[in-house]
Chains A and B, each alone.
Chain A
Amino acid sequence: MTSGTSSPVTGGAARSGPATGGTGTGGAGVGAPAGGPRGRSARATGPRTGRPSAVWAVPGLLYFGIFAALPMVLVAYLSLTSWGGLGSPEFIGLQNWTRLVNDPLMHRAIWLSLLLTVLTWAVQTPISLLLGVWAAGPQRNRAVLSALFFLPLLLSSAAIAIIWRALLDPNFGPLAWLGPVLGLPTVNLLGGSNSAFLVIVFVSSWQFIPLHMLLYQGGARQIPASLYQAAEIDGAGRLRAFWHITLPQLRHTITTSSVLMVVGALTYFETVLILTNGGPGTDTTIVPFLMYRAGFRSWELGYASAVAFTLVVVATLVALLLVRFTGFGSMRSTKEGL
């Protein structure tokens, strides 16, 4: 396999390169075409470019279209129907939408979702930024510790929610044991409306800070060391260097990470389902959970679609921001300018 990559790199040896590399990638494919192109006919009719026709994009586009893009359109249509899961959806006009606009549960869900978004952002950004910048340092102990900090990422959302539910269990969990030891009354954190919400903020931070820490670590490693050396010559201390060099240099990373956090918080679902089931009462029923509840518990799939469509609109707006501010749209090579 290595010969396959190393020989084309030399460029001049390209003619022999693909032939040797071909044995690794597809032995059968090499035999036939390798003989053909060498013949005069191919070259006489003009050089082949090896460029793919647009047909190459069709399977991917079709597949994505059917299972991701078409549902985007369908969700808009379904929001105008009444559908219980069996039979076919029945068109009812804007009824779901008038209901949605007047649904106090939906108002609450939107408020809670926004609150969750803002809180998780405010908790996660400073912590992951500081940890990431710290982990970007060359010291060996930092590498070891960051490897440890990475561990929550190996757990699925479901696993994390189950772990925290067990840890916070008022009867069997460590918290029940820790309370008396510290002389505190045993509290059911998942039973109180504010505390349950804060638990969700905490657990989502516990889950996602490692990811964002990695983003910031990567970002901080890109900062040229010469900037810090210059700052030191100017007599800037650690704090000022952080404020005037690290933070401005990380602004793209901050944008990317923030967008991911916002989209993540808007679509936060598993953890709520497992940890609180939207409760106590409806105190942690955020928009995605409300959608699930309306759709797959009450089987009001039309109404659920209206809720979902609201999510699509918000998510699309965020997507446009993402494309606009992080420069994904410019399709630039990472090696450009080097």
Chain B
Amino acid sequence: MTVRLAEGPSGSPARQRPGPARTGPTPTRGRSKRDRPNVLAGMGVALWLVIVALPLYALLIATVQRAENYTSSGPFTPPTDPTLGNYWRAIENGLLGFVLNTAIVTAAVVAIVVALASMTGFAIVRSRTRWTTGVFRVFLLGLAIPSQAVIVPVYLIIVQLGLYDTLTAIVLPTAAFALPVCVLILVGSMRDISEELYEAMALDGAGSVRTFLQLVVPMSRSGLSTIAVYAALQAWNGFLFPLILTQSPDKRLITMGLFEFQGQYRIDIPGLLAAVVLSTVPLFLVYLFARRSLVQGMMGVGGK
């Protein structure tokens, strides 16, 4: 308490300072005129805040509501006796199994994508042969192949390979469809490695493998983490491939699990929503601890 009081007086002159000092620290955006509070923007943002936050608030409130009170107590009043029962019920209904399947698929997809995209990117950026430009074009065009458009042949291929209703069936096409964006991002970040570094490696007698492992991989770490996050997002949130390529309950991924829950527990909305919230926890943790990579990974194409 005393500490805070002591800060008070010294804080107030500091608070007056921003007026004259403003020219210093905020040169990025204009000054005087543009410093007027932008009332219109403020109102717009407040409206958007309501649109974003209110549903999320109602979601969280619903998940700690007792199922029997859900309709009667109103969606925006916090429950008088909050419960975690909905979360337990979601877990009892097999949510953890879905999470485990999803984690396995995600890890495999990330491994495949990182390995293939980094090798391909290296070849595109550094190889002297002309047809690597063609390779790059192929991936560029691949950017816009929507997975919906080729799901029938993918189904045919997976059935022919005898992989229907396995986790591998989900991994293979998910990784393939994440590849173009990842190659694009990596080519971008590998191009930023300066020529002198390559020359220094070459002078040192390094072959392509060593150049790759000791120069390219360490220097494109931010690109690599971006594509890892991007691939993980594709796998974690993927819906169509699991929907079409698997059917048994023990192969269910988290998105499919939620979809099934919705069919089964139509009345138990708090339980369903609790499962939705739980399914978001891993991503939320990534958001808290690796926000930069996550944001870049999400922007994918647009990020470059």
Contact B301 A260 (CB under 8 A): yes
Residues of A within 8 A of B116 (CB): 59-60, 63-64
Contact B214 A163 (CB under 8 A): no
Is A97's CB within 8 Å of the partner chain B? Answer: no
Give B43 Cβ to nearest chain A Cβ, in Å. Answer: 12
Contact A174 B76 (CB under 8 A): yes
What's the Cα separation between A161 and B283 when bound, in Å? 18
Convert B268-281 into 0s and 1s, putting 1 for each residue whose CB lies closer than 8 angstroms to a CB of A.
01001100100110
Is A101's CB within 8 Å of the partner chain B? Answer: no
Is A248's CB within 8 Å of the partner chain B? Answer: no
Convert A219-240 into 0s and 1s, putting 1 for each residue whose CB lies closer than 8 angstroms to a CB of B.
0000001001101100001100
Contact B135 A61 (CB under 8 A): yes
Is B111's CB within 8 Å of the partner chain A? Answer: no
Is B88's CB within 8 Å of the partner chain A? Answer: no
Give B208 Cβ to nearest chain A Cβ, in Å. Answer: 4
Give A286 Cβ to nearest chain B Cβ, in Å. Answer: 10
| Count of residues in A whose CB is under 8 Å from the partner chain | 133
Is A243's CB within 8 Å of the partner chain B? Answer: no
What's the Cα separation between A258 and B254 when bound, in Å? 30
Contact B259 A52 (CB under 8 A): no
Q: Which residues of A contact B (CB under 8 A)?
A: 1, 4-5, 8-9, 11, 14-15, 17-18, 21-22, 24-26, 29-30, 33, 36-38, 42-43, 47-57, 59-61, 63-64, 66-72, 74-75, 78, 85, 89, 127, 130-131, 134, 137-138, 145, 148-159, 162-167, 169, 171-174, 176-178, 206, 210-211, 214-215, 218, 225, 228-229, 231-232, 237-238, 241, 256-257, 260, 263, 266-267, 269-270, 274, 288, 291-292, 295-296, 301, 304-305, 308-309, 311-312, 315-316, 318-320, 322-323, 328-329, 331-335
21 contacts between A and B (CB under 8 A): A5-B221, A8-B197, A21-B214, A37-B204, A50-B210, A50-B211, A64-B142, A64-B180, A68-B176, A156-B239, A159-B276, A214-B299, A215-B302, A229-B30, A232-B31, A256-B302, A266-B146, A274-B262, A288-B148, A319-B144, A328-B304
Known: A70-B157, A232-B32. 14 other contacts (CB 8 A): A14-B203, A29-B213, A49-B202, A51-B127, A52-B211, A64-B139, A72-B145, A72-B149, A138-B29, A159-B280, A167-B75, A218-B303, A267-B148, A269-B148
Minimum-distance CB pairs A-B, first 4 = A37-B205, A319-B144, A14-B200, A174-B75
Q: Which residues of B contact A (CB under 8 A)?
A: 26-34, 36, 38, 41, 44-45, 48-49, 51-53, 55-56, 58-59, 62, 70-71, 74-76, 112, 115-117, 119-120, 122-124, 126-129, 131-132, 135-157, 172-173, 175-177, 179-180, 183-184, 187-188, 191-192, 194, 196-198, 200-215, 217-219, 221, 236-237, 239-240, 244, 254-256, 258-259, 262, 267, 269, 272-273, 276, 279-280, 283-284, 287, 295, 298-299, 301-304
